[in-house]
Chains A and B, each alone.
Chain A
Amino acid sequence: MNPLAAIGRAVLTAAAATGSLVVFAATAVGRGLIGPWYPRLVLRQMVEIGYFSLPVVGLTAIFSGMVLALQSYTGFSRFEAESAIATIVVLSMTRELGPVLAGLMVAGRVGAAMAAEIGTMRVTEQIDALTTLSTDPLRYLVFPRLIAGLLMLPLLVLVANAIGVLGGFVVSVWKLGFQPIEYINRTFEFLEPLDVISGLVKAAVFGFIVALMGCFQGYHSKGGAQGVGAATTRAVVTASILILVANYVVTELFFAR
């Protein structure tokens, strides 16, 4: 009825959701650090996130690198700046595209799977069962996933960066007629450690976000298969949005000085 009331309600809902997300994350990390730990589960999640995401992330990276080279060529040849292509490709990959694309792909692949698995455990009372068997679901289910996300996404992004640069190289050499050695030299000429490091920091943040949203939405899902489906969608959407927001914030922190 009253538009102000509607806006107020939306703001309050968003604030409450943010609050419970922060409390959830802090509780999971706090308790998880104290232990007991489940190294076996961390390892399993690391394989799940890192190894099994390689094909998806690799494919995304190689085509991104290729199209970057092609697009920069069409643009830069207009004022004879083609020589900047190698730099453009490597900086775009390490600083932006590597972490963001890998983050988004992993959100779709891993975040969704986490929400579905934990959500199913919630609606089938498996999470309650954990509690009755003296096992804290936050330590057992959530913390290992958060750690695995945090650790594995930077590794994935390193691989994605390399593959993306390779994609740019292939297009530049075979299609645009660049000299291989020249291109490789140019790739590293202006690349600074901070470019790579900032990308890896982003990746760690994104990995944490993906795992956190998958766990949070799954953990709070209710109402059977439909509820799990809704939780899965929410996990991917909220993780993707948060990744893009966090991307700006981290970039600002690193480069706006």
Chain B
Amino acid sequence: MSETPRLRIRGLHKRFGVKHVLRGLDLNVAAGGSTVVIGGSGTGKSVLLKCILGILQPDEGSIQVDGQELIGAAPAVVAEARARIGMLFQGGALFDSLPVWENVAFGALARRQVERRNARALAVETLAKVGLGPEVADLSPAELSGGMQKRVGLARAICTRPEMLFFDEPTTGLDPIMAEVINELIVDTVRKLGATALSITHDMGSVRRIADRVAMLYDGRIVWAGPVADLDHSGNDFVDQFVNGRAVGPIRVGAAGIGSG
């Protein structure tokens, strides 16, 4: 823990009107690992990723990527940091006015990493990495199934060879087999790229499959963080309740035991 973490967040606050979603969140993500953030629906997991990407403006706090502060930084600095991050959106967010291959090569084209005439070949090559054949390249995103859309989204995220990858609920809404395929792809691509991964998921199977470290978000803060091996004996009531999916426990409005563990 002596080197600078790839991502360091301190005291992050985000409000939407009166709704106070993030309330002083702290998180470290070490370079090279795969961290998974777990937490209930609506606790602000997606908001956290969007704050890091600069899509949402936090109200307070510090976000550092490779030691570089992003809050209050010049737009060019934020853009440069963002260019090193690939993002798989919760809903895929594929551009439905463009064919699959242009979706995949979009970032590389925007950053002039590839000439337009070579872009299609790059896209086909990247699609192959996520197990999709060249025949998909000319389809429109609307013609793909949910699982294929996730794969195309993944291809789009890795096409620019980013140093960091964000996955927002990569397996939600997929059948168990497809979910497993996606998990495997994530583990694989992250290892091959040597990238740092920050993922969000509800799916405990997925957590055990892709995480080195786990952080639990509750009530706007990280209430527990540790290695995935400690997940089952974390000594934290929130984590216990979430991992075991119990209805009874501290994660209920008005329940006792907040802050224990």
Contacts and interface: CB of A to CB of B under 8 A. Distances in A.
Contact of A129 (B85, B93, B160): B93
Interface string A130-141: 111111000000
B205 to A, nearest CB: 25
Contact of A132 (B82, B90, B94, B96): B82
Contacts, number: 47
A126 interface: yes
Contacts of B95: 121, 126, 129-130
A134 B87 contact: no
A117 B96 CA distance: 10
A124 B93 contact: yes
Contact of A135 (B55, B94, B110): B110
Given A125-B90, A126-B93, A128-B89, A133 B53 contact: no
- Give the size category of A's interface with B: 10 to 19
Main secondary structure of the interface of A (DSSP, over half): helix
Interface residues of B, number: 24
Contact of A133 (B50, B91, B110): B110
A128 B110 contact: no
Interface in A69-115: none
Contact of B106 (A117, A128, A133): A133
B24 interface: no
A131 B93 contact: no
B87 A129 contact: yes
9 contacts: A121-B95, A125-B90, A126-B95, A128-B89, A131-B55, A132-B87, A134-B82, A134-B110, A134-B111
Interface of A: 117, 121, 124-126, 128-135
Q: Give 3 closest A-B pairs by Cβ, nearest first.
A: A133-B107, A125-B93, A129-B93
